[in-house]
Amino acid sequence: MTALPRLRTHSMRTRLLLFIGATLVAVCAATALTTALLQRAALMADLDDRVTEAAERSLDGAGLRPYDKDDLSFLTEQGRPTGLLAARPDADGHIVSAATVAEGTPPRNLTAAQRAALAGLAADGSPHTRNVPGLGTYRVTAIENDGVRVLTGLPMDDVQRMVSGLVLGEAVVAGAGLLVAGGVCAVVVRRQLRPLDRVAATAAEVSRAPLDRGEAGALTRIPAGDTDPASEAGQVGAALNRMIDHVESSRTARRHTEERMRRFLADVSHELRTPLASISGYAELMNRDTGRIEPVLAWRRVHAESARMTSLVEDLLLLARLDEGRPLYSAEVDLAALVAEAVWDARAAGDGREWRLELRLDAPPLVLGDAARLRQVVANLLANAQVHTPPGTTVVASVEADAGHRVIRVRDDGPGIPPGLLPQVFAPFTRADASRARGGPHDGGSGLGLAVAAAIVSAHGGRIHVESERGRTEFTVELPPVGAEPPPPSTGEPRREPTRSSIRTFAHNP
């Protein structure tokens, strides 16, 4: 019971060699034992045949008489086997006379103790093994014919010597074979386990890598030769490579998240510092009462900067709540009326742009959601077009509704979004460069409008994406209709164009 736990503490190489060695020893022992038993059985069968033949010859050719119990004349006949032992038992199995003869010597009578070792045999011709004192082990049999009983036997020394020699030879050959097989197995096991050793070494090296620090370099991979899926070691190596890939991707994602968080905090600090500095400056001027600024103008600037800061904080709070997955108010919302109101509001600003509204309705444009938040999405998209396009730009807001889609599009023919900015256009505090910003009091906004819009759309189970080139920028918002499941995250589904008969366009040239 204690050997197995001790064995488990050894290496796999040692355990394999021990198990293989034990198996080889068991196989060799079984083979040698089987061979020795079969050889002994064959030799014993041959010896039994010779003993029976000798007994039958003694009855057929010697002319023995039933009343002459001392007649052992057949021992001196020609052609008798070497070392023949003969006896004349009576009806009760007692030995009356017995003698043995060796090569070149006259017969020698057996002693009383030797005759007693041969007594008790039934005259049925079956072979028996008897140990005769002073003579050794004999194979004997007794037969009877016409009242004449004869017992004959032959020594088993030759059989025992042959079996002993066979066992010794097998032991020598098996020992040499075990040594050779053990050496070959040790070499093969060592070579076959080398890939596993390399995998273990790589795993140990990866475990020592400073994964908690962002400056850690690329992790070591298992070589391609040790990732063959046809072998167990290759499967382990391939699995370890996949795990290392996951670790590196997770580390990269964490580093990017940390970088985005640092940039986010820096942007928040910058955005809040500007209105706070302005408020602090105006408050300081009013506190000094130097007459350099009118109190009404100062209070207006303080109020404007406070409103700017409040809007920023509210947007950040909304992003945090949406990120936590807090549910929104839900009710049926008419997208056509919502977008129309937003376009009227933008048109009322009279900023030199042409605002258009298009309705492509094959079904009621109803969705389930928070009307205030959806209005904020449209307002942010329109404000983005207003801020980042020059006067004279045409901005088109459209609503499309068919059996399975509810889509809002905001399109303009302005300068477009720089290609390098498109991948992170919906990230917080993302601002366009000078080619997209028109300057002025807005100065590009705070960079939270599109991030808030994307978060609101995602909270409604929809999706938002943008396509932009010079002269055409289009934001697309897809929302699930009332009673429908949210659309899958994929954006590869082709867009269904409604019939022209359902399009209504409202344009206004200021």
pLDDT digits (tens, 9 = 90+) for 157-191: 889 899 999 999 989 998 998 899 888 888 888 88
- What secondary structure letter does DSSP report for 209? S
Q: What is the pLDDT of residue 61?
A: 57
For tokens 């460069």, the residue is: 433
With cut-offs at 50, 70 and 90, classify the pLDDT of residue 356: very high
- Among 129-143, 270-284, 445-459, the range scoring the smallest mean pLDDT is 270-284
Q: Tell which wins on pLDDT, 211 or 358.
A: 358
How far out from the chain centre does Cα 391 lie? 60
Which stretches within 289-370 are classed as H helix? 295-323, 335-348
Say if CB 101 and CB 108 are below 8 A apart: yes
Beta bridge partners of 368: 332
Q: Supply the mean pLDDT for the chain.
A: 79
Sheet strands side by side (includes 85-89) = 108-109, 95-100, 85-89, 148-155, 136-145, 128-132
pLDDT digits (tens, 9 = 90+) for 262-272: 777 776 776 67
> Is 67's pLDDT higher than 60?
no
Most confident of 5-14, 205-214, 244-253, 404-413: 404-413
With cut-offs at 50, 70 and 90, classify the pLDDT of residue 409: very high
> Is 396's pLDDT higher than 90?
yes
Q: What is the pLDDT of residue 37?
A: 92
Say if CB 426 and CB 419 are below 8 A apart: no
Query: What are the tokens at 397?
Result: 């807001």
Q: What is the pLDDT of residue 479?
A: 92
Q: Report the alpha-carbon distance of residue 476 to residue 378 in Å, rounded.
A: 11
Q: Tell which wins on pLDDT, 170 or 255.
A: 170
The full length of the chain comes to 510
| For residues 323-347, average pLDDT | 86
CATH of domain 12-162: 3.30.450
With cut-offs at 50, 70 and 90, classify the pLDDT of residue 507: very low
Q: Report the alpha-carbon distance of residue 34 to residue 174 in Å, rounded.
A: 14
Say if CB 222 and CB 203 are below 8 A apart: no
Q: What is the pLDDT of residue 493?
A: 37
Q: Report the alpha-carbon distance of residue 63 to residue 241 in Å, rounded.
A: 95
For tokens 């009118």, the residue is: 294
Q: Report the alpha-carbon distance of residue 506 to residue 148 in Å, rounded.
A: 140
CATH of domain 329-508: 3.30.565.10
From residue 111, give the alpha-carbon distance in Å to each of 87, 118, 164: 12, 11, 30
Task: Provide the 10 A C-beta neighbour count for residue 293.
Answer: 14
Residues in contact with 294: Cβ distance below 8 Å, sequence separation at least 6, in sequence order:
none
Q: Tell which wins on pLDDT, 10 or 66.
A: 10
Q: What is the pLDDT of residue 98?
A: 86
> Is 442's pLDDT higher than 50?
no
Degrees, nearest 5: CA angle 364-367-373: 135
Say if CB 509 and CB 394 are below 8 A apart: no
DSSP conformation letters of 238-286: HHHHHHHHHHHHHHHHHHHHHHHHHHHHHHHHHHHHHHHHHHHHHHHHH
- What secondary structure letter does DSSP report for 361? E
Q: What is the pLDDT of residue 34?
A: 92
E strands of 364-412, at which residues? Answer: 366-369, 394-401, 406-412
Q: Report the alpha-carbon distance of residue 329 to residue 27 in Å, rounded.
A: 79
**Which of the four CATH numbers 1.10.287.130, 3.10.580.10, 1.10.375.10, 3.40.50.1000 does domain 211-326 have?**
1.10.287.130
Q: What is the pTM of this model?
A: 0.48
For tokens 């997208």, the residue is: 335
Q: Report the alpha-carbon distance of residue 163 to residue 43 in Å, rounded.
A: 9
Domain borders along the chain are: 12-162, 211-326, 329-508
Q: Report the alpha-carbon distance of residue 303 to residue 322 in Å, rounded.
A: 28
> Is 110's pLDDT higher than 60?
yes
